[in-house]
Amino acid sequence: MPLRHVLLAAVTAAVTFTAPASSAAASYLFWVPPNFSGSAVRGDEPGIALPMPGATDAELRSHLLWNMRAGLNVAALQCQFSPALATVKNYNVLLSQHNAELADAYKSVSGYFKRTGGKKWQTALDQYTTRTYNGFSTLHAQLGFCEAAGSIGRAALEQPRGKLFEVAQGRMREFRNSLVPVGDGLFVRRPAPAHLPLPTLAEECWDKKGVMKKKCWSLPLS
């Protein structure tokens, strides 16, 4: 075998076996994720979740946590195009690891609708659940949403039991921001100024009615 072929094979083998495992995950989409970060929330801020008028602090906390769980559930369904994000695996582990806190959150949210919804509280709860899920459905912002969901899901698994709500408080604004379509974070996008050519404004080219005279029709636009 020629020496150059031996050297090429050796280099290829070295790259194959010594590349860090994180390199595959870092390049799975070949893009720089945009910065979706935002300030912490309570759950009653506009655009974060559905309004819950009259909710207690505990109910708002459960409401926020339940929204984050719904978003991660949607991500587990929508983001399977990228196994590197592990949205399905992380969501399933989340349900097991934080099952008690999630069950308490659902009980609290249900209690809110029982307290405020009257005889039709179950219908109101069902509508709330449907609208919450639909609020995370996206197409044009899918890459950013899935990237954020992967990061939030990993953070949730690192959180101690009983403290999952802190992840929701700290990351839900980011989660919502990720639903807005944006491009690659590597590129700065600025609107291109539109230059519209104008006809000559010389007085001798216009009659008293504001109509351009025929002799000026062939003049170049400025």
Beta-carbon contacts of 70 under 8 Å, excluding residues fewer than 6 positions away, are: 129, 132, 133, 135, 136
pLDDT bracket for residue 217 (50, 70, 90): confident
pLDDT of residue 187: 58
Residue 25 covered by a domain: no
pLDDT digits (tens, 9 = 90+) for 82-132: 888 999 999 999 999 999 999 999 999 999 999 999 999 999 999 999 999
Residue 154 covered by a domain: yes
Residue numbers of the domain that contains 66: 33-177
Write out the two tokens for 81: 């195009």
pLDDT digits (tens, 9 = 90+) for 123-174: 999 999 999 999 998 888 898 999 999 999 999 999 999 999 999 999 999 9
Write out the two tokens for 54: 């009259």
Which amino acid would we find at residue 46? P
Residue 120 covered by a domain: yes
pTM, entire model: 0.69
- Average per-residue pLDDT for the chain: 82
Residue 41 covered by a domain: yes
pLDDT of residue 23: 39
Residue 182 covered by a domain: no
pLDDT of residue 191: 54
Write out the two tokens for 185: 């974070």
pLDDT of residue 221: 57
- Using alpha carbons, select from 60, 75, 97 the residue that is nearest to residue 152: 75
Helix axes 57-78, 99-116, angle to 10 degrees: 120
Task: Give me the percent of the chain exceeding a pLDDT of 70.
Answer: 77
Residue 77 covered by a domain: yes
pLDDT bracket for residue 211 (50, 70, 90): confident
Greater confidence (217 vs 54) lies with 54
Residue 199 covered by a domain: no
- Using alpha carbons, select from 30, 182, 157 the residue that is nearest to residue 86: 157
Q: How many domains does the chain have?
A: 1
pLDDT of residue 1: 45
pLDDT bracket for residue 218 (50, 70, 90): confident
Residue 210 covered by a domain: no
Average pLDDT for 10-32: 43
